[in-house]
Amino acid sequence: MSDDRPEPTDEEVVETASEAAEGVVLARYRQSDLRDFDVTVTFEEGVLDVDVYVNPPADAAADADEVAEEAVSAARDAVDELFGLA
């Protein structure tokens, strides 16, 4: 990160990761079709933890585990970008 930009706050990191993960899930499934989904993000002491749970409709074409993994990856990539690491 350049010296003239302050470090992102923990809240900014969590919000950035959450938005990225939710974006992936909602790009793959219509929200109204999902039985349930949850994105949990914590950022404490410089450690990012992202957990994504997806319960899609029974006839969904996209695999829930793959979508969850994609969402976690997108969240981590978005945070890397926020810190200027990407």
Indicate which CATH number applies to the domain containing 34.
3.30.300.100
Q: What secondary structure letter does DSSP report for 63?
A: -
pLDDT digits (tens, 9 = 90+) for 30-71: 999 999 999 999 999 999 999 999 999 999 999 999 999 999
Q: What secondary structure letter does DSSP report for 2?
A: -
Alpha helices in 1-86 (DSSP H): 10-28, 64-82
Check: CB of residue 81 under 8 Å from CB of residue 61: no
Q: Which amino acid is at 35?
A: R
Q: Which residues pair with 38 in a beta bridge?
A: 53
What average pLDDT does range 72-81 have in this prediction?
Answer: 98
Phi and psi dihedrals of 62, rounded to 5? -85, 135
Q: Which of 16, 1, 85 is nearest to 50 (CA)?
A: 16
Domain that includes residue 20, residue range: 10-82
Residue 56 domain-assigned?
yes
Residue 22 domain-assigned?
yes
pLDDT-derived band of residue 6, with 50, 70 and 90 as boundaries?
confident
How many structural domains comprise the chain?
Answer: 1
- pTM value is 0.91
Tell me what pLDDT residue 18 has.
Answer: 98
